[in-house]
């Protein structure tokens, strides 16, 4: 820890690529959000040993969900920076996010995006982010949240630029409409590389509407330096809560998720959810009038919806 930097409460100073105190990757399933009104919510938390998906070993924390077989809203994949949320001192951060959205949290130190992860000492390398997303297909149904890349180059065949394309394609294959990607805190010895990461992310978001930026670089810059470790990147308890709050805020801003179970009433049907903010196309309504279908729900009106007689 750098001199003059206050140690965050309950925090041990990790290194970039540091790992959880647990021996394996862990998954945390948080409380289901408001879109699941009407489904039973558990008030207890159950610790379940074992893996949640083939090849993803660890301990699952189930809380506020109707059952282990019910998909949650979000899959959070991270490296040692997000791993603070998975630590015991990250429990308030998990609770904060879980009050607003259901999620699976899978983070590990030294994790890379799409290539072989690095190793710490004699410990095995963790799965990379892509392997986690592939293994957890079907466990989430709304958004993929990525907070990894601190151990990766910006460009090249295994760099961030390629990883963004691969992650977007993988989410699309799984039927997930959006990928939230956290920008990188620009601090410490890696500040110039992480700044290049952020420039590239914003360029990619400009051409991929399904890529949503959660600006951790901007939000964390306003936080006290004492909330972070000596390297300026890893999170203490308060910074972990700040990251959880940013993720929840960003999910809040996503277009409504109608889900596979949604069937528009009457003669209306949805033609696309790719451009949720596009003007509603003119629709032919019973009686020959043209305009918005009166029997469409408000969430459906925000999407591309067409009515026929």
| CA–CA distance, 70 with 184 (Å, rounded to integer) | 32
CA angle 149, 59, 170 (to 5 degrees): 40
Compute the half-sphere exposure of residue 304: CA atoms within 13 Å on the CB side of its CA.
Answer: 7
Task: Retrieve residue 241's tokens.
Answer: 């809560």
The reported pLDDT for the residue numbered 255 is 83
Q: Among 145, 155, 222, which Cα is nearest to 185's?
A: 222
pLDDT-derived band at 71 (thresholds 50, 70, 90) equals confident
The reported pLDDT for the residue numbered 99 is 92
| CA–CA distance, 46 with 36 (Å, rounded to integer) | 20
Is residue 17 within 8 A of residue 120, CB to CB? The reply is: yes
Write out pLDDT tens, residues 209-256. Answer: 999 999 999 999 999 999 999 999 999 999 999 999 999 999 999 987
pLDDT-derived band at 27 (thresholds 50, 70, 90) equals very low
Percent of the chain with pLDDT over 90: 58
Per DSSP, the residues of 23-61 read SS-EEEE----GGGTTS----SEEEEES-SBTTB-SEEE
Compute the half-sphere exposure of residue 253: CA atoms within 13 Å on the CB side of its CA.
Answer: 13
Q: What is the mean pLDDT of residues 69-97?
A: 92
What domains are there in the chain, each with its CATH number?
A: 26-252 (3.40.50.1110), 268-307 (no CATH)
| CA–CA distance, 227 with 244 (Å, rounded to integer) | 14
Strands 72-78 and 140-147: parallel
- Residue 170, φ and ψ in degrees, nearest 5: -65, -45
Bridge partners of residue 61, in order along the sequence: 28, 47
Q: Is the pLDDT of residue 87 over 70?
A: yes
The residues, any chain, with a CB within 8 Å of residue 23's CB and separated by 6 or more, are none
The residues, any chain, with a CB within 8 Å of residue 71's CB and separated by 6 or more, are 138, 139, 140, 141
Is residue 102 within 8 A of residue 117, CB to CB? The reply is: no
The reported pLDDT for the residue numbered 91 is 94
Compute the half-sphere exposure of residue 135: CA atoms within 13 Å on the CB side of its CA.
Answer: 18
Higher pLDDT, 296 or 256: 256
């Amino acid at each position: 820890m750098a001199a003059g930097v206050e140690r965050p409460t309950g925090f041990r100073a990790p290194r970039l690529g540091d790992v959880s105190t647990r021996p394996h990757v862990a998954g945390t399933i948080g409380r289901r959000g408001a879109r699941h009104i009407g489904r039973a919510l558990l008030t207890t938390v159950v610790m379940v040993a074992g893996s949640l998906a083939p090849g993803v070993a660890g301990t699952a924390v189930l809380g506020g969900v109707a059952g282990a077989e019910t998909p949650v809203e979000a899959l959070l994949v991270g490296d040692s920076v997000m791993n603070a949320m998975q630590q015991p001192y990250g429990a308030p951060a998990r609770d904060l996010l879980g009050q607003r959205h259901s999620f699976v949290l899978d983070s590990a130190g030294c994790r890379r995006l799409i290539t072989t992860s690095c190793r710490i000492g004699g410990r095995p390398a963790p799965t990379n982010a892509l392997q986690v997303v592939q293994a957890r297909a079907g466990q989430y149904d709304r958004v993929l949240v990525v907070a990894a890349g601190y151990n990766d180059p910006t460009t090249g065949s295994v760099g961030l630029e390629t990883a963004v394309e691969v992650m977007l394609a993988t989410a699309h294959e799984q039927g997930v409409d959006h990928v939230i990607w956290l920008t990188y805190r620009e601090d410490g010895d890696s500040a110039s590389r992480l700044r290049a990461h952020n420039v590239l992310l914003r360029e990619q978001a400009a051409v991929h509407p399904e890529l949503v930026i959660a600006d951790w670089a901007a939000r964390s810059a306003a936080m006290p330096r004492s909330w972070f470790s000596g390297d300026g990147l890893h999170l203490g308890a308060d910074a972990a809560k700040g990251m959880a709050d940013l993720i929840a805020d960003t999910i809040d801003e996503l277009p409504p998720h109608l889900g596979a179970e949604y069937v528009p009433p009457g003669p209306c049907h949805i033609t696309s959810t790719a451009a949720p903010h596009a003007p509603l196309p003119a629709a032919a309504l019973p009686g020959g009038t043209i305009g918005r279908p009166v029997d469409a729900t408000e969430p459906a009106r925000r999407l591309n919806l067409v009515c026929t007689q």
